[in-house]
Structure 1
């Protein structure tokens, strides 16, 4: 399976992207601001890493003998893991955390520290999802297994009519899949698509992928199984609970920004061209939510401002709230959509509605 690259052809009459980029650059220049992270970003990084690692350190000492404390520590670590993924690793692997490439590189490895793989994720997220948002067959965030349907352009099966009921279980299992099989499946598929094609690159990446996973298993579950004086199956259940919470949180945060009734799902034909400005494509396929909640935005790494993130993934999320005013105003001037749910709850309801619609026969 080769990788079919599509090109976005900017309409001659559209200068939206040019105007928007000029205004965003003007904002940073006039306010003498860096597009990268700041002191609050560093503080958040330390807090998220401590929340993820400190409970595991305590568990590895073997002093925990209470089942309630066992689950509490693993759950705390799971929330920290989600925070590291959304608010630290995400910016670093987009190159927006710091202007120093090495800082981005090493903080990007926090993805490996939580059991996944940064280089595989960059292809899945930075290349495929961000470039071809909501395009079936290319956007890996909507390329779901057979029992889930995230696009009206994907084949429908009878089981999909129930997906709005059972999808939540699979969201919870997503990071368990990630730390076990998903990375291996993806790295093999990406090689067939033309990635990892340098000499011995695939073999080296596969070796590093396995090494990082073994390191993660060692401190996240093997040592606790050895050290904690509680039945092994209870420790394993607590570990799985941690991952279920992490997977549930991260899946919902990302999916409600794209798989909703108001976003578009462009279909591709035989042509390698898409007659649309890439910037306009991002507006049409992405939705913000809960824009007024500062704490919620802080907690999830600014991912409630998905429009700003998709338009400017090279800018750190700490700036998205301010940029949203510029993006919204510019979109309004050009009569373009700027999709927003007032609350996170309404975004989830929209996602449920879309899952239900995608399961109905008339959308085949």
Structure 2
């Protein structure tokens, strides 16, 4: 995946690309490598499951920085908020969306949400370009207010690190191509955006189809801020697998088709999820706990579309307001 990401960029930065078509092809190939790094390498590494060595996990986690985002910010957003508070409105940062998207039945509904199943794909495509430019800084400010980055001078150090890594990223993905590729700047910028559009569409679709579907729950805490069931049952109720039989697809997306196993055992490398899934499914059946899965990725995406449409047009039934 690192090769798929960097090799096209090396060719672009060699200055030998003269065709706009070839430029777009190389950037889009790089997009698949970027998505692979995001879903496989850095995802395992930041969870501490890429290797038994903390040092290797730390360095492999920096691959996220190499694709324009930041490991420090991601660890809070994903490891802490998403994995702890899965599908809980205002707590899970993966379903905390801008006003024009509604990923939870408990989020405020606007009239334009009735069309979100049609236009959401545009914003999925733009998600990583937003991520590498502004979103990390917005999250840093919000996480500071939530109680993170409280050590002396920690906030300033984090901001400097984020800025530094982003300058490195933009230097070889956009600035250098603008200097060496003998094509109009607007063509190069558009090709760069196309790379991010493909990456954003891939990553967003993979992650959202695991949680924002009709079969998953969106529980609310009680007046004391507590969720009814324990954490493990909560993960099973708010997460869905898809395409469990395709080994190639599983490799391609870093095992994220086994989201249930990942949420239950995030400290275990994704290469073990397929075998673990049999044990988890049998145990869930033994105790009468739902084990949600779709046979294909297409079926999971279609379920996601139906859920987006449902969220945009009507409130969910009362029986889905919490885990029963």
The answer to whether TM tops 0.5 is yes
- Does the residue aligned with 2:221 lie in a helix, a strand or coil? coil
Q: How far apart, in 1, do the equivalents of 2:315 and 2:268 lie?
A: 41
2:164 pairs with 1:204:
no
Q: Which residue of 2 aligns with 1:123?
A: 76
2:294 pairs with 1:354:
no
- Does the residue aligned with 1:359 lie in a helix, a strand or coil? helix
Selected match of 2:55 from 96, 102, 125: 102
Selected match of 1:89 from 42, 60, 68: 42
**C-alpha offsets along residues 26-65 of structure 1, whole Å, 9 cap, x if unaligned?**
xxxxxxxxxxxxxxxxxxxxxx000001111111111110
Q: How far apart, in 1, do the equivalents of 2:19 and 2:218 lie?
A: 49
Q: How far apart, in 2, do the equivalents of 1:51 and 1:275 lie?
A: 45
Q: How far apart, in 2, do the equivalents of 1:156 and 1:271 lie?
A: 25
Q: Which residue of 2 aligns with 1:43?
A: none
Deviation at residue 68 of structure 1 after TM alignment: 1.3
Q: How far apart, in 2, do the equivalents of 1:103 and 1:274 lie?
A: 36
- Which runs of structure 2 are paired with 1:70-85 in the superposition (5 Å)? 70-85=23-38
Q: Which residue of 2 aligns with 1:186?
A: 139
**C-alpha offsets along residues 47-95 of structure 1, whole Å, 9 cap, x if unaligned?**
x000001111111111110111101110010110000111100000000
Contact 2:46 2:57 in 1 (8 A): yes
Deviation at residue 273 of structure 1 after TM alignment: 1.9
Q: Which residue of 2 aligns with 1:344?
A: 297
Q: Which residue of 2 aligns with 1:213?
A: 166
- Does the residue aligned with 2:173 lie in a helix, a strand or coil? helix
Selected match of 2:127 from 174, 182, 205: 174
Deviation at residue 362 of structure 1 after TM alignment: 4.0
Q: How far apart, in 2, do the equivalents of 1:324 and 1:206 lie?
A: 39
2:210 pairs with 1:262:
no
Q: Which residue of 1 aligns with 2:182?
A: 229
- Does the residue aligned with 2:107 lie in a helix, a strand or coil? coil
Q: How far apart, in 2, do the equivalents of 1:363 and 1:283 lie?
A: 19
**C-alpha offsets along residues 326-357 of structure 1, whole Å, 9 cap, x if unaligned?**
00000000000000000000000000000000
**C-alpha offsets along residues 153-185 of structure 1, whole Å, 9 cap, x if unaligned?**
111011101100000000000000001000000
Structure 2, unpaired ranges of 5+: 318-324
2:272 pairs with 1:323:
no
Deviation at residue 298 of structure 1 after TM alignment: 0.5
**C-alpha offsets along residues 255-289 of structure 1, whole Å, 9 cap, x if unaligned?**
00000000000012431222211000000000000
Q: Which residue of 2 aligns with 1:301?
A: 254
Structure 1, unpaired ranges of 5+: 1-47
Q: Which residue of 2 aligns with 1:146?
A: 99
Runs of 4+ in 1 over 2 A off after TM superposition: 361-364
Q: How far apart, in 2, do the equivalents of 1:87 and 1:275 lie?
A: 32
CA gap of 1:362–1:283, structure 2 versus 1, over 3 A, is closer
If asked which structure has higher relative contact order (CA below 8 Å, sep 6+), I would say 1
TM-score for both structures, normalised by structure 2? 0.97
Q: How far apart, in 2, do the equivalents of 1:270 and 1:143 lie?
A: 21
Q: How far apart, in 2, do the equivalents of 1:98 and 1:79 lie?
A: 23
* TM-align CA RMSD: 0.9
Deviation at residue 363 of structure 1 after TM alignment: 4.2
